[in-house]
Amino acid sequence: MTGNRDEKIRRMKELAAMLLPAARAYYQESREIMSNREYDRLYDELLGLEGETGVVLAGSPTQRVGYEVLSELPKEAHESPMLSLDKTKEVAALQDWLGEQKGLLSWKLDGLTIVLTYEGGQLVKAVTRGNGEIGEVITNNAKVFANVPLKIAYEGQLILRGEAIIRYSEFERINKGIEEVDARYKNPRNLCSGSVRQLNNEITAARNVDFEAFMVVRADGVDFKNSRREQFEWLRQQGFDVVGYRQVDRESLPEAVAAFSKEVQSCDMPSDGLVLLMDDIAYGESLGRTSKFPRNSIAFKWADEIRETRLREIEWSASRTGLINPVAVFDPVELEGTTVSRASVHNISIMEALELGEGDAITVYKANMIIPQIAENLTRSGNIQIPKECPVCSGETRIRQVNDVRSLYCTNPECQAKKIKSFTLLVSRDALNIDGLSEATLEKFIAAGFIHAFADIFHLDLHQEAIVEMEGFGQRSYDNLIAAVQAASHTTLPRLIYGLGIAGIGLANAKMMCRTFHSDFAAMRKAGKEELMEVDGIGEVLADAWMDYFASERNNCQVDGLLAELEIEAEPESQEEAVFAGKVFVITGSVEHFANRKALQAEIEKRGGKATGSVTAKTDYLINNDVASNSSKNKKAKELGIPIISEQDFLNMLGGNENAD
């Protein structure tokens, strides 16, 4: 029976994976990748399985989860403190801890711990671990996790814990979409933390957050036969993905640890160790807890493979932002099956704390068996001199302290490192899209003096002879490059804005700014903070970044020179009557007549209106299908006397049944 249920849930996941891309292609991209007949057949099969199992998975094509934007995440105290785990790096210590008991050995996933609550079979609440005492309520976000069941067969109150994670494959996919290297996420855990705690759950949904259950806190009336393993299997039957585990005893424990350590390198889930949990629920709870740790479970951290080597030098690496990072270069050593000879030291504070010096004896390891790090400096000579000049441009350097962290920066705005990264962004695919101008080619051209300002890209023909003679070039490569440059001179305003590299202004933000300012770039350049913050998605930080950029005379000269070389293609004007000209809308809750809220927003903008994220005195209408709800936006609209209309009301306005005024 259990196997049959597992098979049904597995089939439900397969069906969702087939149906979702087909629905997205049909409704959002106006193309078909599956016939209507086939889609209906698979949809009906999924609907039937949901009825049989009582399980509805997050993201199921049979469900429509509305996106919601919050002003802040509410806080909530946990019923009982969520404690950390005691740790060991010794397998023998794990064996002694387990004694004669049976245990469950599982991955210790490196994400964000979440508490889910179900009532009447429905997901009603999700709260982060927070500080262990108080967490943040992220229910809307949990409903768009990739694999959280929205509905389960069990109708009593279920409280469980699990880890929200972003897989390495997803982490790499998201980072590949970020052209600017300095803006990429550092690790899956940081990306997951930010994704889970978004105020706009549409962003969460795009990140494909996974939830791996690891503990039942409460499930009244269910007989688990005093076994944590039974709990795990019961959760699996309810439709949850359960953290990978093995049942162990004292004798089999070393072999299980070894098996996990072999898998860690190929595991797609970020893990920083293992967890050993007592299988006997009553016995484990009878052990109680210390002020810091529960006694029914313990964490196992990988015993780092540490090698001693000699520090040759500190290499200083400059970036587009001006930050100059210290990188330790040492005699090559074998670690976790690979040869390593370099490790980032991250900043001056860490370098000084380690008292690094050339020739020092140091020990190195791989953090989480992946990232090379310095463990200890055995000599501590501290003879490294912090460079007073940038290693790239010889400009003056300066140490800045932010939140107790000291870092080195190049102060020269003409630094080639800054230029190369800036030009790389300008010619990238989502900006001017100049094929043939790779970062390596730009580096050659800048070093040769062909390029000093953005506009110089459009005058490379002045250096034809020299370029043709360059290594890796020839007449054909030159001709192709010039053709690509000429094609790039015809572009759009959002592409230009994105290519300028203003901190935080991506292509999506650039498009929203162009819509709000009706593609009036002159107005955008001199806009004040309040005007900029009227743009959906532009907050105080991005508004400040925009204003700081155009407060610079040098930046304005760069932009003016570039504009003289470009032909900005005018955005096609909507043929629809501008019935909403000057009107400001806010959209909240789920939509029924449009594919999503973005589609509704596009309809408003096409008719001359504007859609923003917050209800203010400037808002003309709040669109919410739940007109009578007590949501924060509804309350604010009522306070300000702003009409709250349904989606049908909006459609009536479009049809002329109601005047937009």
Give catalytic residues, as residue numbers: 108
Residue 259, classed as helix, strand or coil, is helix
| Among 107, 110, 88, CA closest to 98 | 88
* Residues 147 and 57: beta-carbon distance below 8 Å: yes
Residues in CB range of 205: below 8 A, 6 or more apart: 59, 67, 144
Q: Which two tokens stand for residue 28?
A: 């959002």
Q: How far is Cα of residue 650 from the mean position of the Cα atoms in its chain?
A: 34
**Does residue 107 come out as left (phi exceeding 0), alpha (psi in the -120 to 50 range) or beta?**
beta
Q: Which two tokens stand for residue 453?
A: 């300002």
* Residues 183 and 190: beta-carbon distance below 8 Å: no
* Residues 366 and 304: beta-carbon distance below 8 Å: yes
Q: Rounded to the nearest 5°, which phi and psi values hold at 399?
A: -90, 130
* Residues 365 and 373: beta-carbon distance below 8 Å: yes
| Among 72, 162, 77, CA closest to 112 | 162
Q: Which two tokens stand for residue 606?
A: 């096409």
Q: How far is Cα of residue 152 from the mean position of the Cα atoms in its chain?
A: 28
Please give the torsion angle defined by the CA atoms of residues 519, 522, 525 and 529, in that order, rounded to the nearest 10 degrees. Answer: -70
Sheet architecture: strand order including 271-278: 87-88, 297-300, 271-278, 103-109, 245-248
| Among 585, 652, 658, 577, CA closest to 618 | 585
Q: Report the C-alpha gap between 582 and 447 in whole angstroms.
A: 50
The sign of the torsion formed by the CA atoms of 58, 33, 600, 615 equals positive
Element (H, E) at 380: none
| Among 60, 55, 54, CA closest to 15 | 60
Q: Report the C-alpha gap between 497 and 509 in whole angstroms.
A: 9
Q: How far is Cα of residue 285 from the mean position of the Cα atoms in its chain?
A: 37
Neighbours of 388 (CB within 10 A): 10
State how beta strands 405-410 and 323-335 pair: antiparallel
What are the C-alpha distances in Å from 57 to residues 7, 49, 54, 196, 651? Answer: 15, 11, 10, 18, 32
Angle at 208 between CA 515 and CA 232, to 5 degrees: 155
- The position carrying tokens 């000429």 is 486
